[in-house]
Structure 1
Amino acid sequence: ALQVTGANPAQIASQAILPAVLPTMIGLSLYRLDTNVRSSLVLGFVGGGGIGFQIQQALALFEYKQLTMLLIIMCVMIVGIEGLAVFLRKSIS
């Protein structure tokens, strides 16, 4: 329909295609971000480095203050990403 009215390919993409696929693209991107953060925590715990490794080390060395702070950071990251996802999904739809 846009092509009949004389729209060029850039206008067709920005006015028809992008609005149709944007919610799905953002939803999938946020899902992958969430799963990547959670996977990085697990991989770090089994030896891959990062915050999971720090949690494992704090647990092994009985450094409960550091362990508590790392767990709080982990929870804040997950809740923050989830909150961002909810906000973006509501603002798009």
Structure 2
Amino acid sequence: MIGQKIYKTDLSNYTEVAQWCNANNATIVDREDYYEVVPVVHIETLADQEGELFAKIEVLKSAYAGAMLMGNDVTELEASFKELTAKLAEIQAKERKDN
């Protein structure tokens, strides 16, 4: 469906196309006389990914501290922390390799 045009004079399949876009990482852009299905492009650098992971880890650390103070179970928080730090280590290894 990428490249498909939906003319503004006939929107009968717009909903169907929009649902396909949601399921297939695409979007509908407005052209002058029609709408067109285009892929969604995310260009994210390793530095962007690293920054996002650091931010998530900081939130997780705060949640962990709060859970400990409240005496709540921290098992899921610990698992999430291990997962995030493993991803961070992978990204940092890629950065070292690329430089």
TM-score (norm 2): 0.36
Higher strand share: 2
Higher relative contact order (CA 8 A, sep 6+): 1
Higher helix share: 1
